[in-house]
Chain A
């Protein structure tokens, strides 16, 4: 039995325009998830959304690939300590050496919550752009094949250039 819900929109709608720039400095799964869920919603509303991945944000959002040719032993060792993929990023709290994350995975499955990698793919499909901080890539020795497909590399100035007239949200 279906019942109509009260009052549909009355006013003439105006397409949303706006710009959001998420600067993802943290590599924690929950922070990245919140950024990509909000960014995805903004894209769904017609906003322009950019994600700038820096430091541990860049370290967590990696694809499988080769390290940069200039990466030395220290950079390669550092990479071994980073999550292997976006879905392996740690929780900011209650990670408990992976136990908390394992429980979170089960809860997500039970409640129909999509994986972070799925959300990232949706965001890209809706036109969201992902950029990596050049300094972070250099520090961690990340190579071009370790970036998410379609992502670019940018400097700090480009963040402000792309954010002009919009909001910058640091997570």
Chain B
């Protein structure tokens, strides 16, 4: 059973949402998922760049009102 963790980064300005995402990723094992909600205007391009660069696929990216919700598959987690 894979675990899903949530981050509510609404109200946080760039680069805090991505920093919170990177901090949480360090504590998760491969197979976990992160669902993050943010309303910073740079978040959509930032989260794509983060997923591309770190090797953690972006499973979905949806707009929910003013916020954007991203679901990320953690492939590269903490060191074993």
Contact = CB atoms under 8 A, between A and B. Distances in A.
Interface in A33-82: 37, 40-41, 43-46
A5 B53 contact: no
Interface residues of B, dominant DSSP: mixed
Contact of B61 (A5, A46, A112, A113): A5
Specify the main secondary structure of chain A where it touches its partner: loop
Given A5-B61, A114-B13, 19 more contacts: A3-B62, A5-B62, A5-B68, A9-B48, A9-B51, A13-B52, A13-B53, A14-B55, A16-B53, A37-B14, A37-B15, A40-B15, A41-B46, A44-B50, A44-B54, A45-B50, A45-B54, A46-B54, A113-B13
A44 B15 contact: yes
Nearest to B40: A112
Interface residues of A, number: 27
Interface of B: 11-16, 18-19, 21-23, 26, 44, 46, 48-64, 68-69, 76
A97 interface: no
